A and B are shown apart, each in its own frame.
Chain A
Amino acid sequence: MPDVIACRNLRKYFADVKAVDGLDLSVASGECFGLLGPNGAGKTTTIEILEGLTKPDSGDVEILGLDWRSHDRELRERIGISLQETQLTEKLTVFETVRLFRSFYRDGYDPEELLRDLSLDEKRNARVGKLSGGQRQRLGVACALVGNPDVLFLDEPTTGLDPQSRLQLWDIVQRFRVKGGTVLLTTHYMEEAQRLCDRVAIVDHGHLIALGTPAELIAKLEARNVIEFTSEPPLSQSVVTAIDACAGASAHKGGWLLRVHSLAEAVPQLIAAVEQEGAKLVSLSTHEASLEDLFVSLTGRELRDA
């Protein structure tokens, strides 16, 4: 089965910014693939090159086995796109907007039916300008889906949404996949990537820094849990890395993040180390290792505020 989305050695520079710097990706049919990275990592530039909206400086792109340069119109019929920042016409109603987008495609969904599917039918006659953030985002996805695409591209579909709206959007993506659709989405929420994506590519400064299923990526940490602690005075790096159970440590908010296999082993060792240094614990909490922790361990920075 050939890849639905494939790119090789993609490069795009803006003046002195290397937005995308030699990226290879391939997404199989029916897969949900996530591009995960902090702001400015090059996610939008990458996805817009794949969508045929931005020309790369170099590199090859194939979507559904076709090239943008020779099959623009056919590809446009077969993909659906939601851009990171589109303001649809505020003075039109939800229904008018979807019907307008439907008219661009040879075939696709009935607008009424689609609005029902996306729970937007209550807002059918509401002006776009009066919608909540979540409803607006769903309308954006409705416009992406109305042409019944084979591939869906979503650029930060849930950024800034409340948890309930986020769940609704995830549900829409899942249902698209049940029908056999392929999805490429970008996000800077590791939780979203973990929950929604079959495979994730972590990008930073236009480079691929890790690729795999969420489980594979977390396994790379060689740690199941993370301890987050601060002490007074703070412990030095040598003291922290000397703890037996510690698989890795990163400085974090004046304290440390310790990646550990077993909390049962690591916590007593940590407390002993603190006492031995004559320091006092100020705070301590633990969580299960996530993609966020992988990003921290790979870059020393955090995903959210990097």
Chain B
Amino acid sequence: MPEKTRIRPAIVELAITRAKEFVRESEALFWVFGFPLILALALGFAFREKPPDRVPVAVVAGPNAAQRLAALQKSPVLLPSIMSEQDARDALRRGKVSLLIEGADTVVFRFDATRPDAQSARREADDALQTAAGRRDVVVTREERVHEQGARYIDFLIPGLLGMNLMGTGMWSMGFTIANARMKKLLKRLVATPMRKTDFLLAQFLSRLIWLLIEVTVLVVFGWLVFGVRVNGSILLLAILCIIGGFSFSGIGLLTASRARTIEAVSGLMNLIMMPMWLCSGVFFSYERFPDSVKPIIRLLPLTLLNDALRAVINDAAGLTQIAPKLALLAAWGLITFMIGLKVFRWQ
């Protein structure tokens, strides 16, 4: 007589089967793990540190051309070349060069003042020519460039990607599963059993938790190994933050999918909710550039709260007390949306 199957509590069974289902879904695995890594890799390399590009400038052929070329070549940021007048003007018009240097005795700079690199090229060229002609600097100056660990673009980007990923996978896994189960009448079949409805919804979140921790680990370790992005704060605090963030977006995902009858309707709603946060919540660039009037609203968006807190912990080694208000607000987002979602949920 074979042994009887051990029956675990419904919430555990629901969470385990949901997690298994997810592993067996190869597309979902890609979106959760592959996509953010590819994005981090692409953006990380696109914005890696390198000497600033030299700005091409044209010296119009003439008696002083060779002398001017020699002077300009001393500048580390200019890339001068001699061109006939016609070629030089064409090149300027097409944007191939940013600045045109002509004139017989008086040096004439010709450029489009609306181009930022033209302005700086003009100043550089002026400096180079003046110095070559014997000008002496009155004040001694020195440059110091910022590329300390913690202040590079990739240091800004990795926490942003982490936040974005937590939002995306949290909302999609909740929204997609629920809409799909509703469409296939699986939800209806489940409520035809004595299963507790909260068990089902909490189990969705529990199974997410396992994946969330793996997902965060993969991205953080990747950022550290490939780009040297270090977690300066406490790892435990980072984990807690990610769990609360994940819960928050699961709640929002649940609310989004609580009534929609089709996958398409859910997709549309999800994008509508996530799009403003992709743009405003400081994933790829800081929201400090937005007008002061909207910043208070942006700061209350769940993804902004999460991204700010992630950057505080990862980059600035912030402690619990510093991010506590953001954590509380984030948890409130999750709790309130979860409760409303449960209330208005359509099971059939």
Residue positions of A touching B, CB distance < 8 A? 51-53, 73, 76-77, 81, 83, 85-89, 91-92, 96-97, 99-106, 110-112, 127, 143, 147
Contact = CB atoms under 8 A, between A and B. Distances in A.
Contact of B7 (A81, A86, A92, A103): A103
A87 B185 contact: yes
Interface string B189-213: 1111111000000000000000000
B17 interface: yes
Given A89-B17, A96-B20, A111 B184 contact: no
A86 to B, nearest CB: 4
B188 to A, nearest CB: 6
A103 B188 contact: no
A86 B194 contact: no
Nearest to B177: A89
13 contacts: A51-B192, A53-B191, A53-B192, A73-B194, A83-B192, A86-B186, A88-B189, A91-B20, A96-B17, A110-B5, A112-B4, A143-B189, A147-B193
Contacts of B195: 104
Contacts, number: 77
A101 B200 CA distance: 12
Which range contains the number of B residues in contact with the other chain?
20 to 34
A88 B184 CA distance: 8
Contacts of B5: 99, 102, 110-112
A94 to B, nearest CB: 12
A84 to B, nearest CB: 9
A92 B20 contact: yes
In the complex, the 8 A-B pairs of residues with the closest C-beta atoms, listed nearest first: A87-B184, A76-B194, A103-B13, A104-B195, A104-B193, A91-B24, A86-B189, A103-B10
Nearest to B190: A104
Nearest to A95: B5
B14 A100 contact: yes
A140 B268 CA distance: 33
B137 interface: no
B179 to A, nearest CB: 13
Given A77-B194, A101-B193, A103-B8, A86 B13 contact: no
A51 B12 CA distance: 27
A83 B193 CA distance: 12
Contacts of B8: 103
B216 to A, nearest CB: 24
Interface in B144-181: 181
Contacts of A103: 7-10, 12-14
Given A85-B185, A99-B13, A101-B193, 12 more contacts: A53-B191, A77-B194, A81-B189, A91-B21, A91-B25, A92-B20, A99-B5, A102-B7, A103-B13, A104-B190, A104-B193, A106-B194
A117 to B, nearest CB: 14
B244 to A, nearest CB: 28
B188 A86 contact: yes
Contacts of A111: 5
A265 to B, nearest CB: 52
A76 B17 contact: no
Contacts of A77: 194
Interface in B1-38: 2, 4-5, 7-10, 12-14, 17, 20-21, 24-25
Q: In this complex, which of B5, B12, B24 has the most chain A Cβ atoms within 10 angstroms of its Cβ?
A: B5
A104 B191 contact: no
Contacts of B4: 110, 112
A83 B194 contact: no
A124 B111 CA distance: 77
A97 B20 CA distance: 12
B119 interface: no
B120 interface: no
B262 interface: no
Contacts of B25: 91
A277 to B, nearest CB: 54
Given A73-B194, A100-B14, A103-B9, A83 B2 contact: no
A89 B19 CA distance: 12
Given A73-B194, A99-B7, A112-B5, A86 B185 contact: yes
Contacts of B189: 81, 83, 86, 88, 143
